Each structure stands twice: as C-alpha cells, then as structure tokens.
Amino acid sequence: MLNIALFGPPGAGKGTQSEFLIKKYNLFYISTGDILRRELAEETKLGLQAKHIIAQGGLVSDEIIVQIIEKTIKNNPDANGFLFDGFPRTFVQAYILEGLMIKLNTKLDLLISIEVPEEESVNRLLLRGETSGRLDDNEEVIRNRLREYDEKTKPVLDFFKERGNYMAVNGVQKIKKVTSEIRKAVNKVLARKQLNIVLFGSPGSGRGSLGRAIAEKYKLEFVSTGDMIDEEILRGTTLGIKAKELYENGELVPDEMVIQLIERKIENSKKAKGFIFKGYPRTLVQSYILDGILKKHDTIINKIIEIKVDTLEVIRRLDNRSKTEACMPYDTSTEKIVKRLQEHQEKTLPVVDKYREFHDVAVVDGTDEFDKVMDLVSTEIESSFKALD
Ligand code: AMP
C-alpha cells in the first residue's frame, strides 16, 4: 500500500496535484471537502450538520470527519493505497489518521505540504469562486478558512515533521514543476519500500522449497528460522551451543534467541528488496514479535501466502520423505509427524486467522507438482510487486 496526504492552505493546488497522484500511483482519492459537499447536496443528516460551518469557513467537527473517513476506507478494502486531500486538518485528525493506518496494518508514507503565501491563496480562490459555485469561495469566508488553517491546521505539520514522513514543496511555481518535485519524492519513498512476504503452510506443503525458489527468483532474503538455528549449531556459536543443548533435551528454542537471529538478518540485509519468512511466525506471540521487529525497521508485512495441501497428501509426502536422504530428524516416526501437524493446526493456523483480520491472505493450492505451484505463487507475488511500483 502507498498512502499519501496532501497538505496546504485552501487554493494551494491540492486538487490539481491529486489528479496526477491518483493516476500515476493508482490511489483511491479521499477528499473530505468533496465528501462533505456531496452530503450537503444530498441534504443528508451529516450534510445538514456541516452546512453552516462550511458556509462560514470553519472546520467541521472531528467526530464527523472520522465517520466519513472510516466509512470510505471500509468501502474500499482492495485499494492500492489512499490519497487524502484536506485531511488531517487538526491535531486530533492527525492521531485519527495514525489510528486508521494501524488498523489497516499500514502507515502514512508521505505527507506533502504545498506551500503558498496567504495573498496568493486568496487571489486563487477568488478566481476559482467565479466559476466553482462553491458557497465558501468568497472573500470573507476565504479569510476565515485561511485563519482556521493558520490556527488549527498548520501546527499539525509538526506532528509529521517529527515522524520524518514529510516533504514541503513550493506551490508558487508552474504546475508541472510542482508535480515533478512531488513525483521525485514519492518515487524515493517507493524505492525504500520492501516487499515482505510470510509464507504459511503445514509441514510437507512444500513451503521450504517454494520459499527458497521465490527468494532466488525475486531477489528477496529468505528467512527460515529453522535454517538459521541449524547454521548457528554448525558454526558452533554461543547461540548455537545453547540451541543444540535445548534440541538435545527436546526443548524449543526460546523466542528471545530467535529474535536475535531475525534482528541480525534484517540488520545485515538493509539493501534487500524484501524478505520472505518461512516457519516464522509459528505462534501468536511470534506474530506480534515479527510485527514489532519490522516496525522497528520502518517496514511491514505486505503479502501473506498460505499453501494449502490436503492432510492425507501431506502425511503421504512426509512419510515418503522419511524414507529418502532428505529425511529430517523430525520426520523419523509417525508419532513425530503427527505431532508436528498437530502443532501447526493448534498454534500456527490461529496466526493465519489473526493476519486474515487485516490482510488479504492469498491461499494457493499446493497439491500440484512443484513448477505449477511455483507459477501460482509467482502470480500472487508479481501482483504485489505491481502494487509497490
Ligand atoms: P476543502 O474542499 O478541503 O477546502 O474543504 C471545504 C470545507 O469543508 C472546509 O472549509 C471545512 O469546512 C470542511 N472540511 C473539509 N475537510 C475537513 C476536515 N478534515 N476537517 C474539518 N473540516 C473539513
């Protein structure tokens, strides 16, 4: 997802720049002003509540704004991203926006402030008033709107300056020049965005080989916590020695140790186009840990794939594997296989359901032969890369 907010006084050219941004980045446009005007024209309860305030150039209550924004976002669950025009306009709305983004498991990528001096705004709005038919495009109301902007909206900039997702552009230049500066800033944000995939699937679903192949094909870092622990053991590191002891006693490697490994991997792969996680998160606790780690590195999960294979087929595959050289220590008996499948069912499936609340989980049928499944997974991934383009 790519989420942008356009900021600036009335008449700064937010509407004009929106047209470019919507088309170029395939964003869903949310202009609170437009929505309010529509409500007003349709004489809805909300429109009637807001009419008087809009006519005077005041700001409509945050209570009304949160309702219209939430409704619009909810009605567009498949949006590639949102472009906010005229929102947030108060400190409270800045917090509302943060909350909404968290709910969608995304964030505001950029707030673009188009800067225009007061007299220029007034002149532009008076000119617009000659044709716009808007009841608030007359000098007295314009001055009020600008006062509201100075007093209530401008201070909101500090909120975003602190978060580092803010850019200012001089709005008194040729439209094309403003657009080009905005395009550069957005492209920079896009270049930093990573594609982070979590690959779910029961043991024997093929997630290991698929994960590795995907990582290679799309130049992503493959994060398999199991492999990472094995490597530590092989290298005889302090962590490896501890992990080996735990393995030998039949205990699980504690989350604290796994966190260190993932953190290190992410730290060492700053340039990566993204990560593909396999075998992690396996529990609800781990899913919160992963969200936390990614947040710390200013990134998020943006694709979840679940490989589905019928249980009987999975048992058949694991049983077959146990008779080959690829046999893993945990494949050696029916008891162990059943235990792993049960763990997956009881602990990991709830994690997939948790993600389902906020993400669109792509379910891929993993029954077919490897290449065919790989094609299905690739299609899913390519659609996500497109969303980042
Ligand atoms: P705009 O089209 O963005 O200039 O908005 C026109 C008018 O709608 C404003 O002067 C406000 O009265 C009202 N309005 C639009 N967006 C908001 C908002 N986010 N918060 C409060 N009032 C708003």
The model's pLDDT over 88-131, given as tens digits with 9 standing for 90+, comes to 999 999 999 999 998 887 889 999 999 999 999 999 999 998 99
d(CA 331, CA 340): 9
Q: Are 104 and 358 in contact (CB under 8 A)?
A: yes
- On whether both 79 and 181 belong to a single domain, the answer is yes
Query: 59 C-alpha to center of ligand 1: Å?
Result: 6
- On whether both 74 and 184 belong to a single domain, the answer is yes
Query: 220 C-alpha to center of ligand 1: Å?
Result: 43
Q: Does some domain include residue 134?
A: yes
Probe target for ligand 1 pocket from 89, 140, 147, with the most ligand atoms within 8 Å of CB: 89
Q: Does some domain include residue 341?
A: yes
Query: 321 C-alpha to center of ligand 1: Å?
Result: 64
Instruction: Indicate which atom in ligand 1 lies nearest the CA of residue 93.
Output: 19
- On whether both 144 and 9 belong to a single domain, the answer is yes
Q: Are 366 and 307 in contact (CB under 8 A)?
A: yes
- On whether both 148 and 213 belong to a single domain, the answer is no
Instruction: Indicate which atom in ligand 1 lies nearest the CA of residue 86.
Output: 3
> Which protein residue's CA is at the shortest distance from atom 8 of ligand 1?
33
- On whether both 209 and 339 belong to a single domain, the answer is yes
d(CA 385, CA 247): 38
Residues whose CB is less than 8 angstroms from the CB of residue 282 and which lie 6 or more positions away in sequence, other chains included:
343, 347, 348, 351
Single out the catalytic residue among 89, 124, 303, 340. Answer: 89
Query: 66 C-alpha to center of ligand 1: Å?
Result: 12
Domain boundary among 192, 211, 241: 192
Rounded average pLDDT over 271-298: 91
Single out the catalytic residue among 145, 207, 282, 303. Answer: 145
d(CA 224, CA 251): 19
Domain count, the chain: 2
Query: 128 C-alpha to center of ligand 1: Å?
Result: 16
In which domain, by residue range, is 130 found?
4-192
What would the two tokens of residue 50 be?
């807001």
| pLDDT at residue 281 greater than cutoff 70 | yes
Q: Which of 83, 300, 79, 77 is nearest to 193 (CA)?
A: 300
Handedness of CA 319, 323, 328, 332 (dihedral sign): positive
Q: Are 168 and 273 in contact (CB under 8 A)?
A: no
Q: Which of 232, 212, 364 is nearest to 278 (CA)?
A: 212
Instruction: Indicate which atom in ligand 1 lies nearest the CA of residue 58.
Output: 12
340 is known as an active-site residue: no
124 is known as an active-site residue: no
For the chain, the distance separating the N- and C-terminal CA atoms, rounded to the nearest angstrom, is: 10
Q: Does some domain include residue 247?
A: no
| pLDDT at residue 27 greater than cutoff 90 | yes
Q: Does some domain include residue 251?
A: no
- On whether both 116 and 97 belong to a single domain, the answer is yes
- On whether both 213 and 168 belong to a single domain, the answer is no
SS3 content of the chain, % helix, strand, coil (to 5): 60, 10, 30
Query: 145 C-alpha to center of ligand 1: Å?
Result: 9
User: pLDDT by residue (tens digit) across 47-89?
Assistant: 999 999 999 999 999 999 999 999 999 898 778 899 999 999 9
Single out the catalytic residue among 134, 154, 273, 308. Answer: 134
Q: Does some domain include residue 295?
A: yes
Rounded average pLDDT over 11-39: 94
pLDDT of residue 110: 96
Domain boundary among 150, 176, 192: 192
| pLDDT at residue 278 greater than cutoff 60 | yes
Q: Does some domain include residue 361?
A: yes
User: pLDDT by residue (tens digit) across 308-349?
Assistant: 999 999 999 999 988 888 877 777 788 888 988 998 999 999
- On whether both 136 and 173 belong to a single domain, the answer is yes
How many helices (H) and strands (E) are present in the chain, helices listed first?
18, 10
Instruction: Indicate which atom in ligand 1 lies nearest the CA of residue 10.
Output: 4
103 is known as an active-site residue: no
User: Quick one: pLDDT band at residue 388, thresholds 50, 70, 90?
Assistant: low
- On whether both 208 and 152 belong to a single domain, the answer is no
Task: Read off the pTM.
Answer: 0.69
Q: Determine phi and psi for 112, rounding to 5 degrees.
A: -105, 120
Query: 275 C-alpha to center of ligand 1: Å?
Result: 41
183 is known as an active-site residue: no
Q: Does some domain include residue 147?
A: yes
- On whether both 124 and 24 belong to a single domain, the answer is yes
Q: Does some domain include residue 378?
A: yes
Domain boundary among 151, 175, 192: 192
pLDDT of residue 333: 84
What secondary structure letter does DSSP report for 333? S
| pLDDT at residue 9 greater than cutoff 60 | yes
Rounded average pLDDT over 340-364: 90
Rounded average pLDDT over 216-237: 94
Mean pLDDT taken over the chain: 91
User: pLDDT by residue (tens digit) across 228-262?
Assistant: 999 999 999 999 999 999 878 777 889 999 999 99
CATH number for position 126: 3.40.50.300
User: Quick one: pLDDT band at residue 193, thresholds 50, 70, 90?
Assistant: confident
pLDDT of residue 389: 53
- On whether both 165 and 288 belong to a single domain, the answer is no
- Ligand 1 pocket, Cβ-based, cut-off 6 angstroms: 10, 32-33, 36, 53-54, 57-60, 65, 86-87, 89, 93, 136, 145
- Helices assigned H by DSSP within 284-362: 284-296, 311-322, 334-343, 349-356
Q: Are 213 and 374 in contact (CB under 8 A)?
A: yes
If you search the block for the tokens 């020695």, which residue do you land on? 241
38 is known as an active-site residue: no
d(CA 143, CA 9): 11
Probe target for ligand 1 pocket from 32, 116, 125, 149, with the most ligand atoms within 8 Å of CB: 32
pLDDT of residue 386: 63
- On whether both 50 and 118 belong to a single domain, the answer is yes
- Helices assigned H by DSSP within 153-237: 156-163, 175-192, 207-218, 225-235
